[in-house]
Amino acid sequence: MTELKLYRYIDDNNIEWHWDGDDVLIFPYYFQIKDFMDLLGASAFDDDGILCVMKHNYFAIYMKDMCENYDIDIETVFPKKDEEK
């Protein structure tokens, strides 16, 4: 996964996201998960897999560790608003 590919996935799919302290939560719908999994690649699911919370129509996924693992600057993909800085 690259910074540009992650940004495009978030932007093209209108994925809702919010800062939570120093981390970002994304909220993809069920039908958007396969594309997200493809973006990450099969090796992302080795070892412990990806932690997430499954809600009624969507997943909640923290992005900080994932971005760090792929050398992605989280603030480039998820820019902070002035009040969040």
pLDDT in tens, 51-61: 889 999 999 99
N-terminal to C-terminal alpha carbon distance within the chain: 26
pTM of this prediction?
0.87
Q: Which residues pair with residue 54 across a beta bridge?
A: 59
The pLDDT assigned to 83 comes to 57
Residue 1 predicted with pLDDT over 70? yes
Cβ(35)–Cβ(13) under 8 Å? yes
Q: What percent of the chain is modeled with pLDDT above 70?
A: 95
**Which pair of structure tokens corresponds to residue 8?**
């495009």
Name the average pLDDT for the chain.
91
pLDDT in tens, 14-40: 999 999 999 999 999 999 999 999 998
Where residue 45 falls among pLDDT bands split at 50, 70, 90? confident
Instruction: Measure the CA–CA gap between 81 and 61, rounded to whole angstroms.
Output: 20
